[in-house]
Amino acid sequence: MRPTVLLFDIDGTLVTTGGAGRRAMRRGLTAVSGHPNPVDFPLDGMTDRSIVRLALVAAGVEPTAEAMDRVLDEYLIALAEEIPQVPRERYRVFAGVREAVEHGLLRGAAVGLGTGNIRAGAKLKLSHVGLYDYFNFGGFGCDAEVRVDLIRIGAERGAAALGVPLAEARVVVIGDTPKDVAAAHGIGASCIGVGTGSFSAQALLDAGADAAFDDLTDARALAALIEHQP
């Protein structure tokens, strides 16, 4: 098998947090900007820092590095409070996710995260459902504000974990938005779309995904993780 790096997005791909992330981000932004509803736009596929930047500008606050860091500090405090309050039926791992991750690990792939979440937020979200320890590396929203850059960082870390140059590794991004597709192709990786977020599998195919499925219970999805070649 060609050395393979799998990078999983989090929100809409691995889990749904029942709105905990949005509520926590709103609280963090309000604490710094004073705006009562600073997050009134779709967040699908955005990185945490790009969300903060856009919301601060909309609230009339200069998005300095210091202001953005303050927002994210407040966000993490709020996220730790919001997550336990979500009913179990609304905070869940999507069907087929654990099996897909374990399949990649058993086949010798480097299995990591490729997410716009900052690392500490990713840990909070995934630890709540027992998923975080599956992932030993990743590209995170604290590594880069632009998604294609953090995906590249995640791919480099995955290749290093396999002990091969990135150029020799097959990289697959698993995500639920057209932004995941674009970021994957931006580094020459392939993308498997899952219709568990706001976009259907067909919409992700239309956006250029190499393959797309309603969810990861589809047997073809497991084959695509390891066997599909771009």
Q: What is the CATH number of the domain that holds 140?
A: 3.40.50.1000
Domain of 214?
Answer: 4-17+90-227
Listed residues 85, 102, 126: the one ending a domain: 85
Entry field: residues in the chain: 230
Question: Pick from 197, 171, 199: which is nearest to 185 by CA?
Answer: 171
pLDDT at 80: 98
pLDDT at 19: 95
Q: Are residues 155 and 184 in the same domain?
A: yes
The residue ranges of DSSP E strands in the chain, in sequence order, are 4-8, 15-16, 92-93, 110-114, 138-139, 170-175, 190-194, 211-213
pLDDT at 21: 96
As for how many domains the chain has, the answer is 2
Listed residues 55, 85, 115: the one ending a domain: 85
Q: Are residues 97 and 55 in the same domain?
A: no
pTM of the model: 0.95
pLDDT at 38: 81
Q: Are residues 80 and 94 in the same domain?
A: no
**Which residues of the chain fall short of a pLDDT of 50?**
228-230
pLDDT at 229: 45
Give Cβ neighbours of residue 160 (< 8 Å, ≥ 6 apart).
none
Q: Mean pLDDT score of the chain, rounded to an integer?
A: 95
pLDDT at 146: 97
Element at 182 (helix H, strand E): helix 178-186
